[in-house]
Amino acid sequence: MADGVDQSRRDFCLKMATGLAGVVIAPTFVCDAFAGKSEQPYIREARYYKKLDGKNIQCQLCPKSCIVSPGQRGYCRVRENRDGVYHTLVYGRLCTINLDPIEKKPLFHFLPGTTAVSVATAGCNVQCKFCQNWNIAQVKPEDIPFEYLSPEALVSLTKSQQSPTIAFTYNEPTIFIEYILDTAALAKQRGVHSVMISNGFIQKQPLLDLCKVLSAYKVDFKAFSEKFYSEVVSGSMKPVLDTMVRIKEQGVWLEIVNLVIPTQNDDRNSLRELSRWVVNNLGTDTPVHFTRFYPHYQMNNLPPTPTRTLETAYEIAREAGIQYVYIGNVPPNKKENTYCPYCGSLLIERAGFSVISNKIVDGKCSVCQAKIPGIWR
C-alpha cells in the first residue's frame, strides 16, 4: 500500500503557509484562488499521446488509453486536451511535501535508516475503493492547495535536507511522469536517488523511460485477481504483472506490497498464486510486504486485517521460496526485520519506521558474508 499522507488538506494549507509541512520550505505558498495571476508553469504539453481526427487525442501513458476530446480530460483528471494538444496540469504542482523515513514507503532493501523528500500531486489513474489518500488522489488539481516547485528547486530542497532520495508517492506518480522524468534526471546528475511508489499501471514505453532515471520502484500489487482489479480498483491486473517483470529486467530495484483486505483478497489460493508468480517471474530475492488493511474511503464496512491472516500470508510466501517477506501496518513485530536467508542471522532490526540496528556490511551478511540484494549505500 502506498504510504499515507499524514495531514489533512486544511492542515497542509496552514502548514505550507508557515513553512512547516514536513520539511521547511520558503513560504511561496500558492492556492488555486491565486493561480490565475501566475504564469502557471505547472501546465505543460504532455508526453505519450497521439493525435486523432477532429483534434481528439489518445493518451498512451497508462493502459486505459483514454480517447480525449478537445476541452476534456483523461480518467486521471490531470491531463487535458487543449485544442488537439494534450497537456499535463500538474508539472511540479505539488499538494504534499514531506520528509519521510524510507521505511514508510515501504522500501526495506534501499538505504535503510535514511529519509526521502516525498512529494505528490492530485490525481490517479485508478480508483481503489480502499484508497487511503483519496483526498488528493481522487480530486482535480484545482480542488486542493498546492506549491509549485521546479525540478531544480526540488533537487536543491532535497540536498538542503541532507536526504539522499526523492520519493514520488502518495497519489499515483505515473500521472505526473513529465515532472518525474525531468526531476529524476537532474537528481541523478547531482547524486540524489529517485524512487517511485506506484500501482504499476503504466504502458511499456513510459515505464522504460522511467527505469532510466529511477533507482527503485515499489509496486502496490492489489490482488492476484482480474475480478478484484476490475471491481475494486477500476484497473486490470495483467499490465501490472508486465510492469513488474520489466522493472526487474531493467535492473531497477523492485519491492512489492500487497494490502491484504478481509474477504476481498485474503484467501489462501490467491496468496499462493501471487507468491508462486513472484518466484517464477521475479525471483526469490524480490522483497514482498503484506500489509494490514484499515477501514477507509469506500470500504468502511470491513474490519482491519487480523494479524493471523498476515502471518498466514507470510508463511505461504516463505513456503513458496520468497526469501524476504515482511508484515506491515501492525505493531512492531519480528516479521518486519530482515534476516539472512543463508545463516538466519538478524541483519536489520526495525520498529515501525525506525531502524534499530543494521548489520549488513558492504551489501553482505556480517556473519556468513552472503550477498544480500538491495541498494545499501
Q: What is the pLDDT of residue 34?
A: 33
Do 314 and 377 belong to one domain? no
Per-residue pLDDT tens for 334-377? 999 999 999 999 999 999 999 999 999 999 999 999 999 999 98
Per-residue pLDDT tens for 294-340? 999 999 999 999 999 999 999 999 999 999 999 999 988 999 999 99
pLDDT band, very low/low/confident/very high, at 188 (cuts 50, 70, 90): very high
Q: What is the pLDDT of residue 39?
A: 73
The CATH number of the domain holding residue 148 is 3.20.20.70
Q: What is the pLDDT of residue 17?
A: 34
Do 293 and 374 belong to one domain? no
- Residue by residue, DSSP assigns 134-203 as HHHHTS-GGGS-BEE--HHHHHHHHHHTT-SEEEE-SS-GGGGHHHHHHHHHHHHHTT-EEEEEE-----
Please tell me the total count of domains within the chain. Answer: 2
Residue 85 within a domain: no
Q: What is the pLDDT of residue 332?
A: 85
**pTM for the structure as a whole:** 0.91
Tell me, what DSSP letter sits at residue 30?
B
pLDDT at 255 over 70: yes
Residue 296 within a domain: yes
Do 207 and 287 belong to one domain? yes
Question: Mean pLDDT in the chain?
Answer: 91
Residue 28 within a domain: no
CA 78, 102, 200, 151 torsion-angle sign: positive
Q: Supply 327's cell numbers.
A: 508484515
Determine the average pLDDT of the residues in 166-189: 98
Task: Report the percentage of the chain scoring pLDDT > 90.
Answer: 88
Do 230 and 376 belong to one domain? no
Phi/psi-derived region of residue 335, left when phi > 0, alpha when psi is between -120 and 50, beta in every other case: alpha
Residue 24 within a domain: no
Residue 56 within a domain: no
Do 269 and 331 belong to one domain? yes
Q: What is the pLDDT of residue 21?
A: 36
pLDDT at 274 over 80: yes
Residue 250 within a domain: yes
Do 202 and 327 belong to one domain? yes
Spacing of C-alpha 281 from chain mean position = 21
Do 323 and 374 belong to one domain? no
Do 214 and 120 belong to one domain? yes
Do 256 and 359 belong to one domain? no
Q: Which range (34-43, 101-110, 289-298, 365-374) has the least confidence?
A: 34-43
pLDDT band, very low/low/confident/very high, at 6 (cuts 50, 70, 90): low
Per-residue pLDDT tens for 189-231? 999 999 999 999 999 999 999 999 999 999 999 999 999 999 9
Residue 140 within a domain: yes
Q: What is the pLDDT of residue 149?
A: 97
How many CB atoms within 10 Å of residue 269?
Answer: 10
CA distance 199 to 101: 20
Do 141 and 226 belong to one domain? yes
Do 186 and 227 belong to one domain? yes
Q: What is the pLDDT of residue 80?
A: 98
Q: Give phi and psi for 133, each to the nearest 5.
A: -115, 35
Name the residue range of residue 158's domain: 93-345
Per-residue pLDDT tens for 241-253? 999 999 999 999 9
Task: Report the percentage of the chain scoring pLDDT > 70.
Answer: 90
CA 322, 328, 332, 337 torsion-angle sign: positive
Q: What is the pLDDT of residue 167?
A: 98
pLDDT band, very low/low/confident/very high, at 3 (cuts 50, 70, 90): confident
pLDDT at 83 over 70: yes
Q: What is the pLDDT of residue 132?
A: 92
Do 223 and 351 belong to one domain? no
Q: What is the pLDDT of residue 109?
A: 98
Q: What is the pLDDT of residue 1?
A: 57
